[in-house]
Amino acid sequence: MAEASQRQVFLASRNAKKLAEMERILSPLVAGIRVLGLDDVDTYDEPVEDQPDFAGNALLKARAAVAATGLPAVADDSGLCVDALNGMPGVLSARWSGPPKSDQRNNELLLAQLYDVPDERRGAHFTCAVAFCVPGADGALSEHVVEGRMDGRIIREVRGEGGFGYDVLFVAEGYDVTTAELSREEKDAISHRGRAMRELAPVMARVLQA
């Protein structure tokens, strides 16, 4: 049982696609890893994501997760930064169209805001900050934060059935299909979250398999 618990990491999310994505990315690097989500632990008060940048919000969530569960915890904050909107929606990406959160309304609003923006000015990038916090025997936290980025552009219509969020509108640099039209493996290889997690995974492997 001790060995199994060492292979568990908590991700502060209820997004089943995010949980599955993180487990896919980590499984080749961390033997027997199991990613638990918010539905796998007792309910706790999640912090308000009020930091001005992705790294700040990720750390806020990871620290709260460790305090509530006692498990090594990963939290990410990611978003879409559009050149023509001065980097917005940024940290507001998930709630860009207001409450309640809705991918469809967010995408509709973004298309409306970029309606008259020419193709050559529709550049954008996804950013993901991932924080990994580990409780120590003395109560102190060991904290690690990395960031990943995926450059591309915003198209003029929704395309694809995969992914989540703004994937249906985003075409990565060097591609002619949206990230929602890529296979899971193709997206993992180039995504902002995939890049951040692959950078963080060796650190997590050392800690979880110690």
Q: What's the mean per-residue pLDDT of the chain?
A: 90
Total number of domains in the chain: 1
Is 198 flagged in the annotation as binding?
Answer: no
- What's the CA gap between 128 and 91, in Å, rounded? 10
At residue 210, the pLDDT reads 66
What CATH code is carried by the domain that includes residue 125? 3.90.950.10
Q: Average pLDDT for residues 194-200, to the nearest whole number?
A: 90
Is 112 flagged in the annotation as binding?
Answer: no
Is 167 flagged in the annotation as binding?
Answer: yes
Nearest to 60 by CA among 42, 79, 73: 73
Is 166 flagged in the annotation as binding?
Answer: yes
Q: Is the pLDDT of residue 6 over 70?
A: no
- State the pairing for strand pair 170-172/141-154: antiparallel
Is 105 flagged in the annotation as binding?
Answer: no
Q: Is the pLDDT of residue 185 over 80?
A: yes
Residue 77 appears among annotated catalytic residues: yes
- What's the CA gap between 178 and 118, in Å, rounded? 18
For residue 171, give its domain range. Answer: 2-208
At residue 17, the pLDDT reads 79
Q: Annotated catalytic residue: which of 39, 40, 76, 77?
A: 77
**Per-residue model confidence as pLDDT tens digits over 17-59:** 788 878 887 788 777 888 999 999 999 998 999 999 999 999 9
- What's the CA gap between 126 and 135, in Å, rounded? 30
Residue type at position 62: A
